[in-house]
Structures are given as structure tokens and as C-alpha cells.
Amino acid sequence: MKAALILENGDIFMGNSIGSTSQRVFEMVFNTSMVGYQEILTDPSYAGQGIVMSYPLIGNYGVNSEDNESSRPWAEALIVRHLSQRGSNFRCEDTLGNFMKQHDITGIEGVDTRALTKILRSQGSMNAMITCAEDFSVEKVLEEIRAYRVKGTVERVTRTEPEVFSPEGEPKCRVAMMDYGVKQNMVNCLLRRGCEVTVFPAATPAETVLSGGFDGVMLSNGPGDPADNPGLIAELKKIYDSDLPLFGVCLGHQLLALATGAKTGRLDYGHRGGNHPVRDLEKQKVFITSQNHGYMVLADSVDPAVAQISHINVNDGTVEGLKYARPNCFTTQFHPEANAGPKDTEYLFDRFVASMGGDR
């Protein structure tokens, strides 16, 4: 079945429908990863977005039940050059095409994804629509596309009840995880280090966390504009004012920055992929990182009496990490827990566990 991808700027790309045939409007972003499409689709940070994969062959190793980062996919749409019709891998359980149909993910293949990526890089992320309608009014479609806004996403993706994950053996320490859209591998990284992890819904009052007897608090990744969450920011400030060790990633990094007086801003086209170089200013080393964000902490808004910039993006110089003057508190914009990789910065989990006394 033929399908059309209509961009907010009026450009139209024709291709073949894959996955669901439902008409969908979304914010379109691009990802430069060669692998990890299942983890990308199930990452809650993509809620409300459609993803253009810049690598041309997607789906060649299929999907399986182990690699999901959450209980369901959150991306609205997937745009690819070529969708493999079968998966060749010993862990393969089904095809990506069937996975998309099962979970009602709209998609299109056969379009020039390199051209799409260049448009987004030069003009910035923009809204788009995929439709299988044979006849549509471009004027009406563009009106609908331009009216779309990604809102209320943290409330949509977070848990409704706390959930406890226990490691093998006696826990070294107990961690409260604030679920702004947490990926499962973030929990797994703590479990492997002997931590018991209690994952709390995003709107959990600070008093509940502070009275829970936890050794530390982790702030997860998540979708949307961090400034759209004033209630979460106010509760997070109370946790920051305690003496509990804190480690924030992605949205958690941005929310804590806002809670301590810094400001955030929108990137033109975001950082999404598994090949972003980041310099650790303390180690004086560059690490390859996985990233997925459309917003950043503004460097000139960070009060040096509150926090120091600890990591910067090698490509554009944006803030990638903060080390706070308050003891045992640090955050990163990139994803040290990344699946399908890279794993270069998992040392930050060791640092967090050490700050809680878990290395004793």
C-alpha cells in the first residue's frame, strides 16, 4: 500500500506503508544508530515522535522479547529506507514489520532517508504526518500538522504504582528511581551492581522518597520539554536539599538543573544516536555515547557556586554533564546505560554506587 510522508514545511515524500496503516501526526526526529531499533521504539523518551533512521537497512536482525526498554513501544512512527522482510539472528523471534503492526506503529519505507535527515539538520526538527489516504487536501493536512504539540508525555509514560526490583543476593544499597520515562536497562545496570531498585511514579511526593530509608536517588530519562514539569521540579528541589546521593540522566539531568536555578533550551535538531563524542573534563578523555534528547541545559545559566560543567559535547560544545557543589550529586545528558550501546560510560554507575557506600 502506498503511503505519503508530509512535512511541516510542505515537502512530501512518497513510499510504501509498513506497520500500521493508521494516519499519524508526530514530531519528526532523526537517529543515526545502525542498530538498536527495537530499543529505540520502546524508549519512552520517544513518546509523541516519529523517527527517521539515517542508516538505510533496518530490521535485519528482527525483534525479540528481551530487548524492550519498557512494556510497550512509545514512538508514533518509523521512517526507513529499506525494511528487512526477515530477521537473521539466533535471538530473532519475529520481524520488525510484524512488531510494528502488533503495536500500532505507523511507518513508511522506500523514501530517501538521507534527504530527510539533511532537511532536519538544516531546518530543525519539525512536525510531520504519515497517511495512506489516496486523496488528501495538502492545505488541511498542513494545518493539522502545524497545530500538533508534544505535551503531557511524562504523565503518559510513567508508572502508576511503585515497583521493586531486587538483585541476586543481599542488596548492597537501596535506590529510589524516579520514573520520568525510565529505560529498563537503567534499572538493570543498578541490579548488576547489587542495588535494590524501587521505581516510583514521576509525581511521587518528595516526602515519600525521603522517608523510605533509601541510600540514593536516581533521576531517569524521559520525553518532552523539561520546563513543562513545574510540579516535578518543585518536588525534586526538596530531594536535592536532602543529603541523599543523586544521579540524573537525560531528562533527570535537565529537571535537576531547572530545580537548582539553571535554564534549558531547545536544540535545533537534537542529539539522537549511538555515536556522539563527549569529553569528560575531569578524566580528560573522550567517550562515545548514546543520546536521545531535543533540549539542553544552557551553559551560561549554570551558577558555578551550585554546579560545575563536567562533560561537554565534542561536536557542538553543549553541556553533557554537571557535578554539583552539594556532595554526591552529578548528572549527565547522555545515556551511560545505553542499549544497544556503547557502554563506555557505565563507570558513572560505579561512581553512584560508591557515593552510597555500596563499594564497601
- Cβ atoms of 187 and 329 closer than 8 Å: no
Q: Read out DSSP for 319-356?
A: EEEEEESSSSEEEESSBTT-SS---TTTHHHHHHHHHT
Q: What is the pLDDT of residues 44-65, one digit of tens each?
A: 999 999 999 999 999 999 999 9
Task: Collect all residues with Cβ–Cβ distance below 8 Å to 170 and sequence separation of at least 6.
Answer: none
Radius of gyration of the chain from its Cα atoms, rounded to whole angstroms: 20
Query: Which one from 271, 276, 293, 335 is the annotated catalytic residue?
Result: 335
> Which of these is catalytic: 8, 27, 69, 337?
337
Mean pLDDT of 321-331: 98
- Rounded CA-CA distance 353/359 in Å is 7
Q: Is 95 exposed, middle or buried (0-12, 13-18, 19+ CB in 10 A)?
A: middle
What pLDDT shows up at residue 358? Answer: 76
- Active site (annotated) includes residue 103: no
In the chain, the largest separation of any two C-alpha atoms, in whole Å, equals: 67
User: Which residue is catalytic, options 235, 250, 271, 276?
Assistant: 250
201 prior amide bond cis, ω within 30 = no
Distance CA 148, CA 156 (A): 17
Peptide bond into 223 cis (omega under 30): no
Does the global pTM surpass 0.85? yes
Distances, alpha carbon 77 to alpha carbons 7, 105, 213, in Å:
13, 5, 41
Among candidate residues 214, 263, 211, 254, the one with its CA nearest the CA of residue 236: 254
Which of 173-187, 302-316, 332-346 has the lowest average pLDDT? Answer: 332-346
Give the cell for residue 74: 512509545
- Domain boundary assignment for the chain: 2-150, 154-355
Give residues with Cβ within 8 angstroms of 213, minimum separation 6. Answer: 174
CATH topology of domain 154-355: Rossmann fold (3.40.50)
15 pLDDT more than 90: yes
Confidence label for 342 from pLDDT (cuts 50, 70 and 90)? confident
Provide the β-strand partners of residue 30: 52
Does residue 132 have an active-site annotation? no
Chain segment 243-269, per-residue pLDDT in tens: 999 999 999 999 999 999 999 999 999
Parallel, antiparallel or unpaired: strands 77-80 and 49-53 = parallel
- CA distances to 28, 237, 260 from 241, rounded to whole Å, are 38, 6, 10
Q: 337 an active-site residue?
A: yes
Assess contact for 232 and 262: CB atoms under 8 A: no
Q: What is the pLDDT of residue 232?
A: 98
CATH fold group of domain 2-150:
Glucose Oxidase; domain 1 (3.50.30)
Q: Which residues contact 206 (CB under 8 A, 6 or more apart)?
A: 235, 236, 238, 239
Q: Write down the pLDDT at residue 16.
A: 98
Q: Please report which confidence band the pLDDT of residue 360 belongs to, taking 50, 70 and 90 as the band edges.
A: low
Residue with cell 489516504: 133
